[in-house]
Structure 1
């Protein structure tokens, strides 16, 4: 999904993860990211972050999911709708990798309120397409409109390009 490593982005802050995942290591500075696409795939998580980063199921109310021309998904406001996905817990270093994967500035991180499966509202980062063109609804139960093998290959390609400082 990425084109060229670029770190020209503005760091904004989502809520700090309070889940046992972040507390287990006693490390502060982990943030929520709501994923509705390829980051849900556990193999993609392990390739890019070196571990499972999923906290649990969540929904993004007031949005619907669409497929872009390149086969990756994006969300747009849609009153009365919601996007099902997963809440992830990422470090600041993980967010750098996520930005590279999401091809910032093609996608931008925005702060949105998402609902965890227990109904608790949390503020999380959500990647939104900067300039969406097509409005083709994304099929339910899919993570991208391209073969999974291509997604995995792209994740491995990005991981091979990362410097040790990008992944801690």
Structure 2
């Protein structure tokens, strides 16, 4: 639990990235939100939004969020030497945190992209074609994208779309 697969655009095209989330021990760990993986300002804000959304909507999602106030949360993007920025990992961070809190694993064949708002809406992002091509190359079979990016699927080769189960949310 606490790991989710995201999709990103890099200088070389699309890429798959992983998000790891952990909770500090309430007795010995630091409080607050710790972010690592060479993240830019927009990505750091997305992490804060993901955590705020879960804190304010945890009860309705049946997640045990009451203990969060006493525990530090750490979100890490491996490949720490590679700079990362942008809002599109919001859904991935939210999912990794929800997985951690619920104790449920996120399927490894699922990847996602989308900005998340404080109310939980999944907002549109760029680079859908590159991200879906990267998902396919990595063996991902299911992809979650923002509903408002559905029109971007027209740019993705049909032979790739036939091999992916795409869920607009």
TM-score, normalised to structure 2, is 0.25
Name the one with the larger strand percent: 1
Name the one with the larger helix percent: 2
**Which has more radius of gyration?**
2
